[in-house]
Structures are given as structure tokens and as C-alpha cells.
């Protein structure tokens, strides 16, 4: 079976290479049969990788501990979900998963475009298969997932495996990597179309229109992945936070930032024919950051305290990135004349300008995060000393960037194209502006002196009001015209232009998330060794340990504290933070006790037992407003889904088309 | 061109502000990754900078006394005494033989005062990075 799997993945490599050359040569020599065979080879690659992956997953689920990968990442007592999730739980498996996703995407792209973009498609296939080939090289020759355990020349099995890293044995974490990977891999498709369009010197914006939905869906996966990562850090890692500017976290944020910039700047190209070079650069950057992100999470480039060139993977990724950058740079420079802008910037206060600054800020933040993440590598290359930067640095830089972005979110969409009159500025911003100033005044009077927090709350209210006013104004107009109630009119309004109003919803989600982020400025934290009966005072809460227990099951042993939370003498609820120790992997994890609330979360972590083994170390936190991050996240997802719904006007158009086809088929029997 | 001048000026201001923030931030928060041997070679500079030192926790060296944890890190037969004074409880993975990262400052008493400890426990069958290509030789060592 292991031979079948290895062979399948090896054949997939050959097929991918074939697809690459057949498509490109077929296009150059204009031989349709070569192009078609190249496209069929793409399906073939998908089938072959699926066989390989299927066998690996089968091994994980049934516990075939002859596979070294299975022995490392699965064990007998794990629930089925995590046995399956072990597919992407380790380096070899997750790279195979990457390959499989890419082949799936490629197959879908080839299928959905089988009658469209005939001149571009061979190159799209070429680019996708080039990337595919790279990952299959890794799967086959560098970190093969099908290594067997052997003793004295014969294959043997171990009785039981290590099990999946217990930190990953958490539902959100089981789906977090696939979400991120769906995002990472998905950006390969718009990238492939962009490059194909560049190679074939396409006039117009065909590649943008075709890949718009792809990009949005990919971006949605990426956003969901990043947010699941935050939720996981908050609920599982137990260090009392959701974001620590860890290299792996940054790796997921980088393509999200540049992808967001891309989603905005394509509008400039669609509407005004501007920023053509920029868009190609952006989508390429996003794709390369996805590759870099994979390599950061997979090679331990930055986390490790040892030298950079550790393990073989880093070099492969670096070479691949270098080749891609060189190729893209050559193509763009060579075809610069095809990418001339059709319009010019006219005024600093205009939609164009707000897009420009949106892009500038997003890219600057992207660059800052990249710089901070790679600083150990850069400093080692420059001065020979490995220097790392920590959270403080990132926060110092990213908070002002974030606030600037937040205010752009509010004002950008309301600036008119070309130039904005003072009158329209006043109309749109007068009331939100006044309300925000009042809010900041009230907060100041209430005793809040944190500068950034004041600014952030002010901006949040401002942006939220501008967005609500847009919905209200549009909805009221429709309501008056069609005699509807306001709610239905607002739904109608959104339906008429889903891209615009879905976009507003996404912005609203971002605002809510910023409300949540700002809460971090007011968090309370304390840690105390406590025995049964001990109390800890925290803000207006009193925490009292009423019970300490321990026990074990097949998978892990545990310690649990039962803590009674009360406020001003009123008993509110109990929380049960727990510490687990997984037997197979000999690792501990925390099950934090969280009581979420709209205003604040009470968060308890069982830090461990004290040295005398009698008292429990309880870390207690109060996180104001954290729930708004998750609420904002859901609004953002909802808004993106709205964007994906076709606008009503277009939908009617599509409907007539369908009717036409039906009639045509209906006439056939005559 | 005048319009573009305005844009250029605005962009320049934004970028300059960010660069200023970034560069002042670096000197405040930078931490040097050092091996134990390198710490010894740093001379007086070792006392001035924030350091992050990696090594294995020497077996039997962990001692706890009134809120402070003392232990010895070893790497390539060199040793470094560490005193942990931070308020967070030590990670579960921190124990004899674990790989640990100590983040803090070198004291003039020759003891490294760590404010943060990270620890990684090499899992049962996990090959060391760099040896990933080699299939683990059996019989597999069951101890950590």
C-alpha cells in the first residue's frame, strides 16, 4: 500500500510536469491536442494525489503504525476527527495537503473554464502546474510522507503512536489549518490568471473579472483562518491573549493584508483603468507571501534559535521564491507598455486617492510585519547577530497603522470619484464627526486617559455611523419609492448592489473587531497560588476556589479547579479551568475557563500546581470587549458572503439567458 | 505635476512616520539570540543587552525557592546558571532535559536573570530538524 501511495505521488509529479510543458508548448505551437492533453493531465494529477492522500489518511485513521508519519501524529485513543486532522498536523502531511488542495483547485479551474479563455488557459494551467511541480518535488524528494519505520532492513510497526500535538486537539484548530491553506492555495489561481494575462498581452481586465469571485472566496477562507487562529490562541494556549505577533501568526496575516489591498485596488482598475501594474504586483506579492507563509510555518525559519539554513526545506522555498520573483519582474518589465494607466489622479480628496492610501497603508503594514518577522534572519545576515523583536515593537507600529486604516474605512467609500466637494464632505461627515467628538468627550469625563483607546473608540463610532447612514439613506429612498417598510427596503438595497453594501458590512465587521481590540487596553491580569477556600479580588469580581480535583482517562490526565465568581457579594457563576497532560505525547495543555460577555470576559487559566503540590496556580484575567472581535468576525464573514451573492440586476440578466437555452433545447425534439 | 507633488508629500510623510516608529521601536525591544558560548564571548556587552539563550535544562538542576526558580542550561558542555523571577507559571514542558529558551538579562553575579521561559519537550518519535529525511531508526526510544 505504501508503494502504491509513493508511486501515485511520483506519477503525479510526472503528470504535473507533463501538463506544464504540454500546455505551454501546445499554446506556442498552437497544437490544440497538446493543450487538451495538458488539461486532462491536470485531472490526472488530482486523481493521483488523491490516491496518495487517501492512503495516508486511511493509515492515520486505522492506525497503521508502520508509517513513520502515522506513528508521529496519530495514536489509538484519539477521536476520529483528530486522526483525520493529523493529515495536516505534521510537516510532511501538511505539504501533501497543500499539494492536494492545489491540484483540486487546478482541476476546478480547468473544468469551469473548459470553454472560456481559451487563449489564456494554457498559461494558467502552466503557472498552476509549475507551482504544483514545486510542491510535488517536496512531497516526493524532500519530505516524503510515506516513510516506513524499519528495523534491520525489514518494515516494522510500533505498538502505538505519539498522537496529534495535543494543542491541536481542539475543534477550531482542527479546521484552522485547512481554512488557512484554502486561503493560501487559493491565491494561486488569480495569480495564475494574472500571469497568463500578462504573457498573452490580454487587453482589458478579463483576468480580474474571472477571478474576482475566486479572490473573494479565497480571502474569506483566509480571514476565517486568521480568526480561528485567534480564537484558538485565546481559548487554548492559555496565555491570556489572542494575538502575540508570533512568526506563525504573522505568516497568516501577511497574505491577508496584501490580499485585502488587492481586493480594493482592483476596483480602481475595473472602474478607471488605473493601477494596472500595481495590481499585478499585488497579486504576485500575495501569492509569494502565501508561499513564504507556508515556508515560515513549515521550516521553522524564524522561531528556531539555531542558524537559518537548518533542514533542507528552507533552501527549496528560498530558491522557488527567487525564481518566481525573477520571472514576475521580467514579465512586468517586458510588458510595461500594455499596462499603461488610462486615467490620472486628480485630487487628494477623492476615491482614487483613498484607494491609494488604503493600499499604501495595507502594504506598509504588510512590510512592517514582514520586516519584524524576518528581523532575526535579516539582522543575522547583516550583522551576524540574530536579533528578535517582540510584541512591544509590533504594537508600537501596528496600532497607529491600524487606526489610520480604520478611519480610511469610514471616509474612503464616501469620497466621490475624481474629486469631492466640500458640500458632500459636510453632508456625509458632519453628524458622525460631531457624535464621535461627543463620545470622546464623554469617555474623557468618565476617566479614560488611554490616548489610542480614545482615538480608536472615536473612529469606531465615526465609521459605524457613516456606514449606517449609507444603509439608512439608500433604504429610505427605496422605501419611499416602492412603499416598503425600511427593513425590507434595506434588504432590497443590499440586494441591488451586493458588492457595495456587502463591502459596507465587511467594513462594519472590521469596526466591531477594532472595538474588541481596543478593549485590550483595559485588561486586568493577576496570578495567585490558591488552595480550596482562597479568594482573589480582580476588578469588581471576587474569585473563590471551591474545589480542586484530579483524574485521568485513556488520552490524558487532568487537574481541575472549580472557581466561584461573584460581584459585590452576588454569586454569578462557576468556572472550571483545567490542566491536561496528554500521555502519548507527554505534553500539557490548558482548558481555560471563560465566561464570555458583551462587556467583558472573565478568563481563568489553570497555570499548574504549586511546588508543594497542594495549591493551584490560577491566572485570572478580565478582558473587556473581547467578544466584539468574534462578533465582528462573523459580520465580516456575513458581509463577504453578501458580496458573493450576484447583484439583482445581473441576476435578472442571467435568468433570461437561461430561459433562452431551455427554449432552444425544447425545440430539439420537433 | 503639482498635484503629484501633493501626493508625494503625503506619502512621504506617512512613510517617514512609520520608519521613525519602527526604528525607535527596534532599539527598545530588540533581543539578541545567543548560544551559551557566545554569551561568554560577549564581554561587557552581555550585561547591557536583552538576551535570549537556548539550551537543555540540566538534569536535577531545577531548584525552587521562595518564588524563584533556579536551574542550569547546558549546551555543548557549556553551562549557564539561570534564575527565573517572572510571575507566570513555568510551562508544563519545562523539566529536566527539556530544550528551553530563557529570555532576560545577564547579571553581574554570573547568573542569567530570565523574565520569560519557553520550553519544548522533544516528543517521542520526533526526529530533530535537519534529520527529517532519515527514517527514524528502530527500536524507537520511548523515553523523551
CATH of the domain at B38: 2.40.50.140
How many whole angstroms separate alpha carbon A414 and alpha carbon A397?
27
Please check whether residue A547 is in contact with residue A445, taking contact to mean a CB–CB distance below 8 angstroms.
Answer: no
In A14-141, the DSSP E strands lie at: none
Q: Which residue has the cell 486522526?
A: A83
Is the CB of residue B60 less than 8 Å away from at least one CB of chain A?
no
Would you state the pLDDT for residue A647? 80
Element (DSSP H or E) covering residue A545: strand A541-552
Nearest chain B alpha carbon to A301: B129
CATH architecture of A522-628: Sandwich (2.60)
Would you state the pLDDT for residue A339? 77
Which of A73, A148, A167, A364 to probe by mutation at the B interface, max B CB count within 10 Å?
A364
Which among A239, A305, A584 has the least Cβ separation from residue B33?
Answer: A305
Which among B29, B121, B124 has the least Cβ separation from residue A393?
Answer: B29
Nearest chain B alpha carbon to A388: B31
Q: Which residue has the cell 503525479?
A: A12
- Cβ pairs A/B, distance under 8 A: 145
Would you state the pLDDT for residue A324? 94
CB spacing of B18 vs A392 below 8 angstroms: no
C-alpha cell of residue A263? 481586493
Considering the domain architecture, whether residues B24 and B36 belong to the same structural domain is answered as no
How many whole angstroms separate alpha carbon A208 and alpha carbon B54?
48
Is the CB of residue B92 less than 8 Å away from at least one CB of chain A?
yes
Other C-beta atoms within 10 Å of A158: how many? 21
Spatial neighbors of A122 by CB under 8 A, at least 6 apart, are: A23, A24, A26, A27, A35, A38, A196
Q: Is A420 strand, coil or helix?
A: coil
pLDDT (average), residues B85-112: 78
Question: DSSP per residue over A591-612, as a string?
Answer: E-EEE--SSEEEEEEEEEE-TT
CB spacing of A305 vs B101 below 8 angstroms: yes
Within a domain: B125: no
Within a domain: B113: yes
Within 8 A of A404 by CB-CB distance, chain B residues are 14
Would you state the pLDDT for residue A524? 87
Would you state the pLDDT for residue A380? 80
Q: What is the largest CA-CA distance in chain B?
A: 76
Considering the domain architecture, whether residues B25 and B68 belong to the same structural domain is answered as no
Within 8 A of B30 by CB-CB distance, chain A residues are 387-389, 393
Considering the domain architecture, whether residues B44 and B102 belong to the same structural domain is answered as yes
Would you state the pLDDT for residue B133? 31
Within 8 A of B92 by CB-CB distance, chain A residues are 579, 581, 587-588, 608
Within a domain: B74: yes
Considering the domain architecture, whether residues B8 and B60 belong to the same structural domain is answered as no
Would you state the pLDDT for residue A438? 93
Of the candidates A11, A1, A2, A74, the residue with the CA atom closest to the CA atom of residue A41: A11
**How many helices (H) does chain A have, and how many strands (E)?**
20, 13
Please check whether residue A631 is in contact with residue A512, taking contact to mean a CB–CB distance below 8 angstroms.
Answer: yes
Measure A368 CA to nearest chain B CA, in Å.
8
Is the CB of residue B25 less than 8 Å away from at least one CB of chain A?
yes
Please check whether residue A89 is in contact with residue A174, taking contact to mean a CB–CB distance below 8 angstroms.
Answer: no
Would you state the pLDDT for residue A429? 84
Does the N-terminal peptide bond of residue B139 adopt cis geometry, omega within 30 degrees of 0? yes
| Domain locations in chain A as residue ranges | 2-401, 413-517+633-658, 522-628
Of the candidates A459, A461, A487, the residue with the CA atom closest to the CA atom of residue A475: A487
Within a domain: B5: yes
Within a domain: B20: yes
Spatial neighbors of B26 by CB under 8 A, at least 6 apart, are: A375, A389, A393
Would you state the pLDDT for residue B132? 31
Nearest chain B alpha carbon to A344: B4
Considering the domain architecture, whether residues B25 and B43 belong to the same structural domain is answered as no
Which among A151, A304, A527 has the least Cβ separation from residue B88?
Answer: A527
Residues in chain B: 144
- Beta bridge partners, A524, equal A622
Considering the domain architecture, whether residues B41 and B102 belong to the same structural domain is answered as yes
How many whole angstroms separate alpha carbon A575 and alpha carbon A592?
9
Would you state the pLDDT for residue B94? 75
Measure B108 CA to nearest chain A CA, in Å.
22
Is the CB of residue B16 less than 8 Å away from at least one CB of chain A?
no
CB spacing of B22 vs A586 below 8 angstroms: no
Domain that holds residue B13: 1-30
- The number of domains in chain B is 2
Please check whether residue A55 is in contact with residue A157, taking contact to mean a CB–CB distance below 8 angstroms.
Answer: no
Is the CB of residue B11 less than 8 Å away from at least one CB of chain A?
yes
- Rounded to a whole number of angstroms, the CA Rg of chain B reads 22
Considering the domain architecture, whether residues B37 and B97 belong to the same structural domain is answered as yes
Considering the domain architecture, whether residues B60 and B4 belong to the same structural domain is answered as no
How many whole angstroms separate alpha carbon B11 and alpha carbon B13?
5
Please check whether residue A177 is in contact with residue A601, taking contact to mean a CB–CB distance below 8 angstroms.
Answer: no
Is the CB of residue B93 less than 8 Å away from at least one CB of chain A?
yes
Considering the domain architecture, whether residues B68 and B114 belong to the same structural domain is answered as yes
Within a domain: B131: no
Other C-beta atoms within 10 Å of A304: how many? 18
Spatial neighbors of A338 by CB under 8 A, at least 6 apart, are: A198, A201, A203
Pairing of strands A570-575, A578-582: unpaired
C-alpha cell of residue A561? 479547579
Q: Which residue has the cell 503540590?
A: A613
Nearest chain A alpha carbon to B28: A393
Considering the domain architecture, whether residues B42 and B95 belong to the same structural domain is answered as yes
How many whole angstroms separate alpha carbon A426 and alpha carbon A430?
5
Question: DSSP per residue over A294-347, as a string?
Answer: HHHHHH-TTT-SS-SS-SSHHHHHHHHHHHHHHHHHHHHHHTGGGG--SS----
pLDDT along chain A (670 residues), means of 10: 88 94 92 91 95 93 86 83 86 90 95 87 94 93 83 73 75 82 92 92 80 91 92 79 82 93 88 84 93 80 44 81 94 84 77 86 91 84 80 87 90 80 82 91 89 93 92 89 86 87 93 93 85 86 89 85 88 88 75 87 84 79 92 95 80 37 41
CB spacing of A389 vs B25 below 8 angstroms: yes
Residues in chain A: 670
Is the CB of residue B48 less than 8 Å away from at least one CB of chain A?
no
Within 8 A of B25 by CB-CB distance, chain A residues are 389, 392-393, 396-397
Within a domain: B135: no
Which among B10, B33, B130 has the least Cβ separation from residue A376?
Answer: B33
Complex confidence, ipTM: 0.73
Considering the domain architecture, whether residues B16 and B46 belong to the same structural domain is answered as no
Would you state the pLDDT for residue B125? 33
Please check whether residue A258 is in contact with residue A361, taking contact to mean a CB–CB distance below 8 angstroms.
Answer: no
Which among A386, A581, A584 has the least Cβ separation from residue B32?
Answer: A386
Nearest chain A alpha carbon to B126: A72
Is the CB of residue B65 less than 8 Å away from at least one CB of chain A?
no
Is the CB of residue B17 less than 8 Å away from at least one CB of chain A?
yes
Is the CB of residue B29 less than 8 Å away from at least one CB of chain A?
yes
Which of B4, B25, B80, B116 to probe by mutation at the A interface, max A CB count within 10 Å?
B25
Within 8 A of B125 by CB-CB distance, chain A residues are 68, 71-72, 158, 161-162
Nearest chain B alpha carbon to A401: B18
Of the candidates A328, A24, A25, the residue with the CA atom closest to the CA atom of residue A198: A328
Q: pLDDT higher for B43 or A126?
A: A126
- Report how far Cα A26 is from the mean position of its chain's Cα atoms: 36
Which among B29, B91, B129 has the least Cβ separation from residue A389?
Answer: B29
Within a domain: B83: yes
Other C-beta atoms within 10 Å of A645: how many? 13
Considering the domain architecture, whether residues B80 and B9 belong to the same structural domain is answered as no
Amino acid at each position: 500500500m505504501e508503494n502504491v501511495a509513493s508511486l501515485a505521488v511520483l506519477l503525479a509529479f510526472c503528470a504535473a510536469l507533463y501538463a506544464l510543458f504540454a500546455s505551454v508548448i501546445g499554446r506556442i505551437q498552437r497544437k490544440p491536442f497538446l493543450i487538451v492533453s495538458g488539461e486532462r493531465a491536470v485531472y490526472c494529477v488530482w486523481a493521483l494525489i488523491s490516491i496518495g492522500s487517501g492512503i495516508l489518511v486511511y493509515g492515520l485513521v486505522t492506525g497503521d503504525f508502520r508509517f513513520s508519519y502515522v506513528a508521529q501524529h496519530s495514536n489509538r485513543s484519539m477521536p476520529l476527527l483528530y486522526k483525520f486532522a493529523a493529515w495536516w498536523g505534521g510537516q510532511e502531511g501538511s505539504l501533501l495537503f497543500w499539494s492536494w488542495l492545489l491540484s483540486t483547485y487546478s482541476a476546478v479551474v480547468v473544468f469551469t473554464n473548459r470553454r472560456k479563455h481559451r487563449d489564456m488557459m494554457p498559461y494558467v494551467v502552466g503557472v498552476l502546474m509549475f507551482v504544483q511541480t514545486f510542491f510535488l518535488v517536496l512531497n516526493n524528494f524532500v519530505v516524503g510522507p510515506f516513510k516506513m519505520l524499519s528495523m534491520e532492513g525489514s518494515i516494522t510497526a510500533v505498538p502505538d503512536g505519539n498522537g496529534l500535538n495535543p494543542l491541536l486537539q481542539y475543534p477550531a484548530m482542527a479546521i484552522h489549518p485547512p481554512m488557512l491553506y484554502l486561503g493560501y492555495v487559493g491565491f494561486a489561481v488569480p495569480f495564475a490568471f494574472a500571469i497568463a494575462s500578462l504573457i498573452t498581452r490580454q487587453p482589458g481586465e478579463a483576468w480580474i473579472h474571472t477571478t474576482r469571485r475566486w479572490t473573494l472566496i479565497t480571502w474569506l477562507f483566509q480571514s476565517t483562518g486568521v480568526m480561528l487562529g485567534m480564537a484558538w490562541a485565546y481559548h487554548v494556549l492559555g496565555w491570556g491573549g489572542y494575538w502575540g505577533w508570533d512568526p506563525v501568526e504573522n505568516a497568516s496575516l501577511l497574505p491577508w493584508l496584501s490580499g485585502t489591498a488587492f481586493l480594493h485596488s482592483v476596483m480602481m482598475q475595473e472602474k478607471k483603468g488605473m493601477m494596472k501594474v500595481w495590481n499585478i504586483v499585488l497579486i504576485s506579492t500575495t501569492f509569494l507571501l502565501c508561499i513564504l507563509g507556508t515556508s515560515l510555518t513549515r521550516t521553522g525559519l524564524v522561531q528556531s534559535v539555531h542558524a537559518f539554513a537548518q533542514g533542507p526545506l528552507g533552501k527549496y522555498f528560498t530558491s522557488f521564491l527567487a525564481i518566481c520573483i525573477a520571472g514576475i519582474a521580467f514579465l512586468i518589465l517586458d510588458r510595461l507598455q500594455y499596462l499603461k494607466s488610462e486615467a490620472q489622479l486628480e485630487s487628494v480628496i477623492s476615491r482614487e486617492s483613498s484607494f491609494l492610501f488604503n493600499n499604501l497603508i495595507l502594504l506598509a503594514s504588510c512590510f512592517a510585519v514582514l520586516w519584524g518577522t524576518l528581523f532575526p534572519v535579516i539582522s543575522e545576515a547583516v550583522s551576524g547577530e540574530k536579533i528578535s523583536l517582540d510584541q512591544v515593537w509590533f504594537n508600537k507600529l501596528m496600532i497607529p497603522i491600524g487606526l489610520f486604516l480604520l478611519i480610511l474605512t469610514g471616509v474612503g467609500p464616501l469620497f466621490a470619484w475624481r474629486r469631492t466637494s466640500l458640500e458632500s464632505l459636510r453632508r456625509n461627515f458632519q453628524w458622525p464627526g460631531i457624535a464621535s467628538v461627543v463620545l470622546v468627550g464623554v469617555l474623557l469625563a468618565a476617566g479614560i486617559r488611554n490616548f489610542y483607546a480614545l482615538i480608536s473608540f472615536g473612529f469606531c463610532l465615526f465609521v459605524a455611523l457613516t456606514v449606517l447612514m449609507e444603509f439608512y439613506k439608500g433604504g429610505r429612498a427605496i422605501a419611499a419609492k416602492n412603499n416598503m417598510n425600511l427593513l425590507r427596503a434595506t434588504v432590497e438595497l443590499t440586494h441591488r448592489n451586493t458588492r457595495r453594501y456587502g463591502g459596507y458590512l465587511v467594513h462594519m465587521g472590521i469596526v466591531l473587531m477594532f472595538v474588541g481590540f481596543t478593549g485590550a487596553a483595559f485588561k486586568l491580569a493577576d496570578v495567585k497560588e490558591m488552595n480550596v477556600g482562597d479568594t482573589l479580588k480582580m476588578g469588581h469580581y471576587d474569585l473563590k476556589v471551591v474545589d480542586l480535583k484530579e483524574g485521568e482517562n485513556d488520552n490524558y490526565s487532568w487537574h481541575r479547579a472549580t472557581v466561584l465568581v461573584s460581584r459585590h457579594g452576588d454569586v454569578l457563576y462557576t468556572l472550571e479551568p483545567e490542566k491536561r497532560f496528554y500521555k502519548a505525547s507527554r505534553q500539557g495543555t490548558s482548558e481555560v475557563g471563560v465566561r464570555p460577555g458583551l462587556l467583558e470576559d472573565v478568563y481563568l487559566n489553570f497555570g499548574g500546581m504549586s511546588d508543594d503540590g497542594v495549591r493551584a496556580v490560577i491566572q485570572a484575567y478580565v478582558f473587556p470587549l473581547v467578544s466584539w472581535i468574534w462578533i465582528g468576525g462573523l459580520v465580516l464573514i456575513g458581509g463577504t458572503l453578501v458580496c458573493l451573492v450576484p447583484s439583482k440586476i445581473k441576476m435578472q440578466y442571467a435568468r433570461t439567458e437561461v430561459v433562452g437555452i431551455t427554449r432552444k433545447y425544447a425545440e430539439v425534439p420537433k | 505635476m503639482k498635484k503629484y507633488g501633493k501626493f508625494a508629500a503625503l506619502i512621504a510623510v506617512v512613510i517617514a512616520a512609520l520608519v521613525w516608529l519602527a526604528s525607535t521601536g527596534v532599539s527598545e525591544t530588540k533581543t539578541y539570540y545567543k548560544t551559551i558560548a557566545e554569551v561568554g564571548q560577549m564581554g561587557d556587552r552581555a550585561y547591557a543587552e536583552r538576551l535570549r539563550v537556548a539550551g537543555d535544562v540540566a538534569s536535577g538542576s531545577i531548584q525552587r525557592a521562595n518564588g524563584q526558580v533556579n536551574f542550569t542550561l547546558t549546551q555543548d558542555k557549556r553551562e549557564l546558571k539561570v534564575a527565573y523571577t517572572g510571575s507566570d507559571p513555568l510551562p508544563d514542558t519545562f523539566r529536566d532535559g527539556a530544550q528551553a529558551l530563557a529570555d532576560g538579562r545577564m547579571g553581574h553575579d554570573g547568573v542569567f536573570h530570565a523574565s520569560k521561559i519557553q520550553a519544548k519537550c522533544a516528543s517521542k518519535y520526533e526526529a530533530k530538524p535537519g534529520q527529517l529525511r532519515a527514517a527514524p531508526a528502530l527500536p524507537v526510544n520511548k523515553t523523551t
